[in-house]
Amino acid sequence: MDFIIETLGGSLGSLLIGGLLLFIAFFALKALISFLKNWWLDEAQKKFISEIENIILEIKFPKENEIFPKAMEQMLASFYQIYSFGIKPEKKWLEGQIEESVSLEMVSSKQGIRFFIRFNKKNKPLVEAAIFSQYPDVELVEAEDYVKEFSQDLPDEEYDIFGADMVLGKDSAYPIRTYPYFFGERKYEEQEVDPIATLAEVMSNLQSDERVWIQVLISPAGSKLREAADKLIAKLSGKKEPPKKKGLVGGLLEFTHQAALAPVKYPEWSGGEKTEDKPKSISHIENEVIRAVDAKASKLAFESIIRIIYIDKKDSFTSSNPKAVTSAFQQFNTQNLNFIRPHKLTMTIPPRFFVPNRKEILLKKKKEIYKNYLSRKFMAHTNVEKMFRKHLEPSLFNIEEIATIFHPPIRKVSATGLRQAEPKKGAPPANLPISE
């Protein structure tokens, strides 16, 4: 009898060890396959991006601009034509195709504020048509990249920088404060303040060696905002989400767990339970939030990253000016909805005191965000890097929100140093008398 028990015990132990080794081998193989897939995708996307020919246009708006930010919203809606409506798997994995992006940029120096747009050259007819349809009096000039004014590797011995990627602080489905809040759907009035005024004022009060660069990177988001909004509305309304499918790995784990408990407990498999929505009493504030979330998702949306770079000479560099730039975005924040904040992984501030090599880490962050700005890099981390480190995810902004952040100043704000278009010369009238 003892021999039989020992034999069975030995067989059970061997079976458990074999199962454990098989389990480890399965996960190791899965991790290896995932690594190889992401590495392949990184290489394919790198090649695809390198073959894109981008151009930069400077947009010179006329003096005493009277055009409402709604025009910028319509312009952004026209840009949505670059959307692929779903990249095919063979295009993604064999060619590395990604959704196209556009960079909207505000650049400030002692000479004034300039507006630029950077995009794929093949989309030039689309971009020009979108701009002129809403701003017929602008002047578009194909320009050399302004970043070439400085070294391609900052900080250096002469200049220091501050940088940060600005993202939404809460779920992207929550909206920020937009231009209708500041002056409604009507013509600009004297007592009203253009939301771009604060930012323009900060960007205008610069010394000769200072620069403020702001780029708003946008790429069509498809249905992502609508899906995020529906999920958030269901949560705020008290509706339960249907159970998620566990997949192969989750199924194996659940099977192992239930098999181990089978001698003492009848298996209970997840996914068979019914989900019933319990009515929830919604307050007035919660109802307003739900309406705001739904309204945001009713408009076209872009995945977006707002990237800021401040440059100055080391001997005059001060942290007050970068703080003024980031704080200018606080006017778009709301207490019960959303807010814009610097992403802590990208913000060029030193790590905590107990972290070794603080100076080296800070220098690396500065060089990384500067490099990302120069290349207009939409995704700050590769697919392989995302497997091993925390990474930045772009936020979802709709066209109304982006138009609030990026638009030409209205009327009196133009006195802050906006680089303006030259007045256009019209043709002489046909009946003009000519002296002999």
86 pLDDT above the threshold of 70? yes
* Amino acid in position 101: S
pLDDT reading at 188 higher than 50: no
Q: Which amino acid is at 156?
A: D
Q: Name which residue leads in pLDDT, 225 or 240.
A: 225
pLDDT tens for residues 196-209?
877 777 777 777 78
Using CA atoms, how far apart are residues 397 and 303, in angstroms rounded to an integer?
A: 6
In this predicted model, what pLDDT tens digit does every residue of 353-384 receive, in sequence order?
Answer: 777 788 888 999 999 999 999 999 887 777 78
Distance between CA atoms of residues 224 and 230, nearest Å: 10
User: What is the SS3 assignment for 188?
Assistant: coil
Distance CA 198, CA 282 (A): 36
Question: Element (H or E) spanning 148, and its range?
Answer: none
**pTM given for the model:** 0.80
DSSP 308-353: EEEEEETTT--THHHHHHHHGGGGG--SSS--EEE-TTTS-----T
Question: Which residues are CB-contacts of 274 (< 8 A; sequence separation ≥ 6)?
Answer: none
**If you count them, how many residues does the chain have?**
436
Alpha-carbon gap, residue 417 to 68, rounded angstroms:
19
The span from the CA of 418 to the CA of 102, in Å, is: 22
Instruction: Select from 57, 54, 62, 63 the least CA-distant residue to 141.
Output: 57
pLDDT in tens, 119-159: 999 999 999 999 999 999 999 999 999 999 999 999 999 99
Which sequence spans correspond to the domains of the chain? Answer: 1-51, 52-233+283-416
Residue 256: both structure tokens together: 């192992």
Taking every pair of Cα atoms in the chain, the longest distance, rounded to a whole number of angstroms, is 132
Q: Is the dihedral of CA 379, 118, 72, 128 positive or negative?
A: negative
Average pLDDT on 212-222 reads 95
Asked if the peptide bond before residue 155 counts as cis, ω within 30 degrees of 0, the response is yes
Q: What is the DSSP letter of 191?
A: T
Distance of alpha carbon 167 from alpha carbon 115, whole angstroms: 21
Angle at 237 between CA 236 and CA 241, to 5 degrees: 85
Eight-state DSSP code of residue 138:
-
Percent of the chain with pLDDT over 90: 44
Are 114 and 326 contacting, i.e. CB atoms less than 8 angstroms apart? no
Return the bridge partners of 312, or none: 160
In the 8-state DSSP scheme, what is residue 108? E
Phi, psi angle pair for 110, to nearest 5°: -60, -25
- Residue 22 pLDDT > 70, yes or no? yes
Q: What pLDDT is stored for residue 318 in this prediction?
A: 81
CA-CA distance, 256 to 313, in Å (whole number)? Answer: 62
**What is the enclosing helix (H) or strand (E) of 370?**
helix 358-375
Element (H, E) at 14: helix 2-50
What is the torsional sign of CA 66, 68, 69, 72? negative
Q: Which of 434, 170, 201 is nearest to 325 (CA)?
A: 201
Query: Does the pLDDT value for residue 190 go beyond 60?
Result: no
Helix count and strand count (H, E) for the chain: 13, 9
Q: What pLDDT does 25 receive?
A: 82
Q: What is the mean pLDDT of residues 25-30?
A: 83
- Residue 65 or 155, more confident: 155
Residue 167 DSSP label: E
Give the residue among 396, 374, 378, 307 at the shortest CA–CA distance from 347. Answer: 307
Q: Tell me if residue 118 falls in helix, strand or coil.
A: strand
pLDDT of residue 168 exceeding 80, the answer is yes
Rounded CA separation 119/100 (Å): 9
